């Protein structure tokens, strides 16, 4: 149901009139009106999987109209024929794009200046769920390890699902209160803190944000944000950069929080860029960004503070020699090269993460909930591969099965077995030029169906 301006708390109107629009009644009216209108649907192309040009070709083939935005990988999407929900299209299920509002994509855009950075960094996404910004960081930093921290356990499943769908062989997922990272000073080269906030900039959504707005809540949230930004700044390396962002617009949560930390560490804290983006001007949700550099290591101002005890994940161990031999038989059979990966075991799952010296050292100081990419599972001396390795890795010795029709594809994506009269072995399933996954042939001559249950069409 569309909002009306009558749903907006008068105290909200008064605050923004006094602080931003004192002599601009017409602009105030445009701003308030923007909070009642839904935004156009936008998607971000996952350039870790497909180039923008190739995605445009696929979109045209699907009769999708893509309209550019001020972020080169984000497009407004309009579909003339809607046979399936956007989230059930093959391109979405395989992680070629992410449904994301333009404003949500801009934090990473400003952290990276819209560029691809090939340097091998260690990066922290401090409040990561649902995973859009984490996977966007992976695109912009293709040789870096991303630590995706989500403090709320209930939001963890969505983060794991999205990082696995879009590709996660360089992502470590943790579940700490953000303040925990103050225990790891001078650790990260880049940090994204898209802070929990009051959400004024996305008041167009079905929420109570602007209806029940009050300053007491704003100050409470700002105190949390100050704690998080302090922890982020402490864990940032000297000469490192941090992007603090919110999807809110008041000065208490934005400039107020930044100024509090800058006054705490005046010799170390440098603001490189700071801007508020208004929804009625940007045709997106409202948001605030501040890019920060750490100019020198900060002095410890709380010398009596005892370091927090860090619990390690003792079930996460390097791959054993016996399991190395079992895995090598499979990799030789299918032509899979894992020489660029560290391999670990976690509760019989075999996990692979891109080799990175700092990331390996970090595993001695954090407890990962998930690590890199699951490539399979070893039970009772038998390795069972994860279907996604057929999508994410080159399998040089594995034959391809081209799915024969849209109906057969739909059957597979609904959990059914497909194919008939095949011989033993593994096949990479393809459709319309896209690798879908790896499957084996069962005793009936059909392909097993191990496509992830959470992504199936219902």
In the block, tokens 């922890």 appear at: 231
Identify the pLDDT of residue 383.
Answer: 97
pLDDT reported for residue 210:
87
Region of poorest pLDDT, from 56-65, 87-96, 128-137, 313-322: 313-322
Cα-flanking dihedrals φ and ψ of residue 222, to 5°? -60, -35
Active-site annotation holder among 197, 247, 290, 446: 247
C-alpha 156, offset from chain centre: 12
> Residue 94's pLDDT is what?
95
DSSP annotation string for 279-298: HHHHTS--EEEEEEEE-SPP
The closest of 125, 122, 118 to 141, measured between CA atoms, is 118
pLDDT category, 140, cuts 50, 70, 90? very high
Structural contact between residues 227 and 179, judged by C-beta atoms closer than 8 angstroms: yes
Please give the structure tokens belonging to residue 22.
């004192």
- What is the C-alpha separation between 122 and 363, in angstroms, rounded? 12
Strands, E, within 187-300: which ranges? 188-194, 236-246, 269-277, 287-294
CA distance 247 to 254: 10
Q: What pLDDT, on the 0 to 100 scale, is given for residue 232? A: 98
Nearest alpha carbon to residue 436 among 195, 100, 92, 202: 92
Orientation of helix 10-19 relative to helix 25-34, angle to 10°: 130
Residue 222's alpha-carbon distances to 254, 285, 387, in angstroms, are 8, 20, 44
Say yes or no to pLDDT of 3 above 60.
no
Please report the pLDDT score of residue 300 as a whole number.
Answer: 67
Pairing type for strands 97-99 and 171-174 reads unpaired
Average pLDDT rounded to a whole number, residues 432-446 = 93
**What domains can you pick out in the chain, each with its CATH number?**
101-294 (3.40.50.150), 316-383 (no CATH), 399-455 (2.30.130.60)
Q: What is the pLDDT of residues 329-368, one digit of tens each?
A: 999 999 999 999 999 999 899 999 999 888 888 888 889 9
Cis bond upstream, residue 130 (ω within 30):
yes
Mean pLDDT of all residues in the chain?
92
Closest CA to 415 of 387, 380, 455: 455
Among this protein's residues, is 290 annotated catalytic? no
Cα–Cα distance list, 17 to 4, 86, 244, 339, 353 (Å): 18, 39, 25, 60, 51
59-66 average pLDDT score:
95
DSSP code of residue 416: -
* pLDDT (mean) for 61-81: 94
The predicted-structure confidence for 202-225, as pLDDT tens digits, reads as follows 876 655 788 889 999 999 999 999
Q: Are 245 and 287 within 8 A, CB to CB?
A: yes
What integer is the mean pLDDT of 196-204? 87
Share of the chain above pLDDT 70, in %: 95
**pLDDT at res. 1:** 40
Calculate Rg over the CA atoms of the chain: 24
**Tens digit of pLDDT for each residue in 228-267?**
999 999 999 999 999 999 999 999 999 999 999 999 999 9
Residue indicated by tokens 């449904």: 99
What pLDDT shows up at residue 149? Answer: 97
- Over residues 299-318, the pLDDT tens digits come to 765 544 555 566 677 888 89
Please tell me the distance from the alpha carbon of residue 227 to that of residue 220, in angstroms, as a whole number: 11
Is the pLDDT assigned to residue 446 strictly greater than 70? yes
Residues near 422 by beta carbon (within 8 Å), at least 6 away in sequence: 401, 441, 445, 446, 447
Distance CA 129, CA 319 (A): 29
pLDDT score, position 304: 46
Question: Dihedral of the CA atoms 440, 443, 446, 451 (nearest 10)?
Answer: -40
Rounded to 5°, the CA angle 279-284-286 comes to 45
In 3D, which of 453, 429, 430 has the Cα closest to residue 441? 429
Burial of 376 (0-12, 13-18, 19+ CB in 10 A): buried
Nearest partner of 439 among 324, 458, 326, 408, judged by Cα? 408
**C-alpha–C-alpha distance, residues 429 and 393, integer Å:** 13
Q: Which two three-digit tokens encode residue 227?
A: 């704690």
Contact 356, 341 (CB under 8 A): no
């Amino acid at each position: 149901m569309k909002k009306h301006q009558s749903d907006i708390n008068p105290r909200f109107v008064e605050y923004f009139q006094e602080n931003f629009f004192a002599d601009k009644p017409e602009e105030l009216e445009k701003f308030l009106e923007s909070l009642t209108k839904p935004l156009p649907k936008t998607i971000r192309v996952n350039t870790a999987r497909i180039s923008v040009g190739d995605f445009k070709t696929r979109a045209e083939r699907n009769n999708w109209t893509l309209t550019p935005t001020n972020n080169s990988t984000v497009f407004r999407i309009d579909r003339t024929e809607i046979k399936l929900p956007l989230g059930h299209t093959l391109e979405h299920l395989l992680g070629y794009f992410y449904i994301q509002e333009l404003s949500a994509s801009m934090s990473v855009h400003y952290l990276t200046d819209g560029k691809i950075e090939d340097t091998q960094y260690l990066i922290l996404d401090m409040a990561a769920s649902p995973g859009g910004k984490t996977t966007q960081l992976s695109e912009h930093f293709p040789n870096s390890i991303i630590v995706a921290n989500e403090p709320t356990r209930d939001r963890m499943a969505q983060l794991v699902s999205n990082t696995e769908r879009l590709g996660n062989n360089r992502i470590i997922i943790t579940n700490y209160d953000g303040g925990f990272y103050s225990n790891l000073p001078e650790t990260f080269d880049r940090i994204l803190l898209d802070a929990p906030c009051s959400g004024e900039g996305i008041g167009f959504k079905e929420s109570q944000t602007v209806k029940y707005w009050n300053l007491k809540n704003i100050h409470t949230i700002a105190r949390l944000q100050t704690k998080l930004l302090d922890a982020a700044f402490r864990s940032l390396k000297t000469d490192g950069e941090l992007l603090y962002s919110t999807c809110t617009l008041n000065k208490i949560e934005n400039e107020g929080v930044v100024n509090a930390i800058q006054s705490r560490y005046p010799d170390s804290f440098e603001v490189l860029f700071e801007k508020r983006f208004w929804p009625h001007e940007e045709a997106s949700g409202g948001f605030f960004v501040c890019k920060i550099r750490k100019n020198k290591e900060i002095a410890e101002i709380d010398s009596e503070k005892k370091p927090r005890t860090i619990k390690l994940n003792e079930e996460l161990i390097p791959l054993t020699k016996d399991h190395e031999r079992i895995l090598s038989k499979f990799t030789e059979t299918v032509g899979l090269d894992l020489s660029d990966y560290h391999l670990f075991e976690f509760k019989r799952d075999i996990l692979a993460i891109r080799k990175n010296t700092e990331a390996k050292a970090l595993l001695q100081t954090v407890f990962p909930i998930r690590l890199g990419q699951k490539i399979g599972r070893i039970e009772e001396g038998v390795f069972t591969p994860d279907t996604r390795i057929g999508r994410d890795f080159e399998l040089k010795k594995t034959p391809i099965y081209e799915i024969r029709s849209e109906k057969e594809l739909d059957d597979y994506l609904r959990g059914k077995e497909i194919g008939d009269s095949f011989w033993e072995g593994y096949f990479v399933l393809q459709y319309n030029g896209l690798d879908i996954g790896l499957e084996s042939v069962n005793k009936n001559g059909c392909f097993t169906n191990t496509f992830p249950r959470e992504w199936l069409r219902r």
